[in-house]
A and B are shown apart, each in its own frame.
Chain A
Amino acid sequence: MDTLELIALILTSTLVYSTPLILTSLGGTFSERSGIVNVGLEGIMVMGAFSAVVFNLTMSSSLGAMTPWIAIIVGGIVGVVFSLFHAVATVSLRADHIISGTVVNLMAPALGVFLIKAWYGKGQTDNISQNLGYFSFPGLSDIPIIGPILFKNTFLPAYCAILIAVLAWFIIFKTKFGLRLRSVGENPQAADTLGINVYAMRYSGVLISGLLGGMGGAVFAQSISGNFSAGTIVGQGFISMAAMIFGKWNPLGAMGASLFFGFAQSLSIIGAQLPVISAVPPVLLQIAPYLLTIIVLVAFFGKASGPKANGKNYIKTK
């Protein structure tokens, strides 16, 4: 394998593994900017993966190559519905954010496997036939050197996710909605006195995180796992949360951190094909993303502090 192919291989697999993390960590950013800690991202990803796989299996014969893309949207919608649980519990009913999020995480795989068993009679679905395959940008892929690395046989959803990250940055920092969202997460009382509807802002923060988390799960299921079972999503939601913290609650930072974690995850898969890395014991590569998450948190969490009212319930006084 020559160097060019090697770089292209590393880059493409990094993009594949990063995409679900980028989307989900952006979701986490919206939720925590509004002041709601969303530990349930993991469960939301599970539901996104579940619904995308079921949709894909059911509709692929009639929708053809468009199936996985529509399934991503379906996964996002199911994510919104599922995150409503968390939103109602934390915003309206004053539940502890971590307990409510943990309930989402406990519920999602159980419900997913229950439904799979009820519909298909077994604990794991078949493999989907329509994957989010590789894509070459027409024209751009012919550019020498850059073309084959960045634009040939690459992963299109990753580019969409990067675009969404830029869009999220614009929304959070440059629009009226973003300013209100942030102010509610920093000081809900002050925001309330200025006439901002705290509850509505917090609901929208959590629901957006449901949308993006569900999309992240859908991308993961349709590019990496290929089916749905209880073991489809193993910690990606939590890694996304760490990426959000690493990225200092900034969409672009979260995206960069997700790319880093995606690279770490992809190493355990493609490591055997790479020089030097192939000499590292596989178990080290397996635990690397989790270990790196802890190291990054230790190194950066002290310096980065999140939204001030993050994790605190707001109770409107009469």
Chain B
Amino acid sequence: MNDRSEKIRNLLVPVLSVILGLILGAILMAAFGYQPIQGYSSMLDAALGTQRGIGETLRQATPLIFTALGFSVANSAGFFNIGLSGQALCGWVVSVWVALAFPELPKVILLPFCIILGALAGAVAAAIPGFLRAFFGTSEVIVTIMLNYIFLYLSTFGLHEIMPASYRSSLDSSNTISQSASLRLPWLTQMFGGSRVNAGLFLALIALVVVWLLMKKTTLGFEIRSVGLNPFASEYAGMSSKRTIILSMVISGALAGLGGVVEGLGTYQNFFVQTTSLTIGFDGMAVSLLGSGSAIGILLSAVLFSILKIGGLGMQTGAGVPFEIVNVSIALIIFFVGINFLIRLMMAKFFGGKKQEEAVVTVEAKPANQNQEGGEL
């Protein structure tokens, strides 16, 4: 019985977090003289009201699924990959670059080639912090963030100084890629009223299944999860935690790179100067945290955040509410996921009485969190 209540609580935490985040967002809107109900209704209208809106929402969800999967793989190994946006940027630049370099190749060769090289670029970008963490114990949080800035500046430098001028349509953007490298599908575009939704969506769904299989059904997945839970015990059981950490980062970076590839070959069809880190990086992290790393959870929260993002643009034009309120709400949602202890305790208090409350307190007070020697590598 205890177990069932615990399961229900696990399911309710993200749902309640979303509701609380959206309510606080509404309060904030009202506090600054905007109309929350009008805001949210124009949000839903923009994201789901038209064929085109639905298509754009699915288009937005595509890279988020990739980056969220990337985050969850690394997170399973106990590695906090905040460098998703830099890794995605690498995938974007490389895939577009390759597409521009070989425009004559037939589609069956060029498209997979671009996708694979883009994923590889992301993997290499992520291998750096993985390697540094495994061999030097360097904090991956700071390294990945620093690399985000480094890749951001390098991408602009690459576009301006290294890319041949014939690949560029202006100083700040590359040419459009040829049809044989594009992920767009005419029938799909038509079905969704001319939106930019593309074959990347199917790749993302495949990736969801593949990653689930990898993590749950293969030896590597088992090793990744056990190193994440306890690196010392895994070492003792004969696994190399160094190798596992680097491998998990390579997989994570490849997935993030694919997130960039679908932006480059699907959404925008070119590369242009980026002034800030790609938002799909941090949003993907938020998606993964809300979906608690599970395949179905990631899918649902990617769609939810896409509705918020696409709808947020509609909210700005439709109800005059600044788009940033969406990001505030997303941050609040993750805040509530972070303090899930409180939410669990409250739920137990209201629905389960004293016994449940104590169960939560003991479950949450497991010594793993306060082990003095630490469980970190």
Which residues of A are in contact with B by a Cβ distance under 8 Å? 39, 85, 89, 93-96, 98-100, 102-103, 106-107, 109-111, 113-115, 117-118, 187-189, 230-231, 234-235, 238, 241-242, 245, 281, 283, 286-287, 290-291, 293-294, 297-298, 301-302, 308-309, 311-315, 317
A187-B372, A290-B150, A294-B143 in contact; A107/B332 too (CB < 8 A)? yes
Give the distance to chain B from A256, nearest Cβ to Cβ, in Å: 18
26 contacts between A and B (CB under 8 A): A94-B364, A99-B289, A102-B285, A103-B331, A106-B327, A107-B331, A110-B327, A110-B331, A118-B33, A189-B370, A231-B275, A234-B276, A235-B146, A245-B142, A283-B157, A283-B161, A290-B147, A293-B146, A294-B146, A297-B132, A297-B142, A298-B138, A301-B137, A301-B138, A308-B372, A315-B370
A2 CB to closest chain B CB (Å) equals 33
Q: CA of A201 to CA of B357 in the docked complex: distance in angstroms?
A: 27
Beta-carbon contacts of B278-292 to A below 8 Å, as 1s and 0s? 000010011001000
Contacting residues of chain B (340-377) with chain A, CB-CB under 8 angstroms: 341-342, 364-365, 369-372, 374, 376
| B334 interface neighbour in A103, A113, A234, A302, Cβ under 8 Å | A103
CB atoms of A93 and B285 under 8 A apart: no
Contact of B149 among A94, A187, A245, A287 (CB under 8 A): A287
Q: Enumerate chain B residues within 8 angstroms of A98, measured Cβ to Cβ.
A: 80, 141
Task: Report the Cα distance A148→B86, complex, angstroms.
Answer: 43
> Smallest distance from the beta carbon of A37 to chain B beta carbons, Å?
9
A102 to B34 CA separation, bound complex (whole angstroms): 27
* A98 CA to B143 CA, complexed, in Å: 14
Name the A residues within 8 Å of B206 (CB-CB).
none
Are A89's CB and B332's CB within 8 A? no
Q: Which of B142, B156, B286, B331 lies in contact with A242, CB distance below 8 A?
A: B142
Q: Are B143 and A283 in contact (CB under 8 A)?
A: no
Is B149 a contact partner of A241 (Cβ separation < 8 A)?
no
Q: Let me know if B153 is at the binding interface, CB within 8 A.
A: yes
Given that A103-B338, A113-B322, A287-B153 are known contacts, is A297 also in contact with B82, CB under 8 Å in the complex? no
Query: Are B146 and A291 in touch, CB under 8 angstroms?
Result: yes
The chain B residue sitting closest to A230, CB to CB, is B276
B contact residues around A302 at 8 Å (CB): 136-138
Q: Which residue of B lies closest to A96 (CB)?
A: B338
CB-based contact A283/B153 at 8 Å: yes
Q: Which of B105-164 contact A (CB under 8 A)?
A: 132, 136-139, 141-143, 145-147, 149-150, 153-154, 156-157, 161
Residues of chain B with a CB closer than 8 A to A308's CB: 372, 374
Identity of the chain A residue whose Cβ is nearest the Cβ of B34 in the assembled complex: A118
Instruction: Return the CB mask of B298-329 against A: 1 if under 8 Å, else 0.
Output: 00000000000000000000000010111110
**B370 touching A103 by the CB < 8 A rule?**
no
Interface residue B335 (Cβ < 8 Å from any Cβ of A): yes
**Complex Cα gap A301–B282 (Å):** 26
B201 within 8 A of A: no
| B330 close to A (CB within 8 Å) | yes
B27 close to A (CB within 8 Å): no
Which chain B residues lie closer than 8 Å to A96 at the CB level?
A: 338
- Assess A283 versus B154: contact at CB under 8 Å? Given A189-B372, A231-B275, A235-B146: yes
Q: Is the CB of A89 within 8 A of B324?
A: no
**In the complex, A188→B374 CA distance in Å?**
13
With a CB–CB cut-off of 8 A, which chain B residues contact A107?
Answer: 327-328, 331-332, 335
Q: Inside 8 A of B157's CB, which chain A residues have their CB?
A: 281, 283
Residues from chain B with a CB closer than 8 A to the CB of A230 are: 276
Query: Is B324's CB under 8 angstroms from A113's CB?
Result: yes
B32 on the A face (CB < 8 A): yes
Whether B276 pairs with A95 at a CB distance below 8 angstroms is no
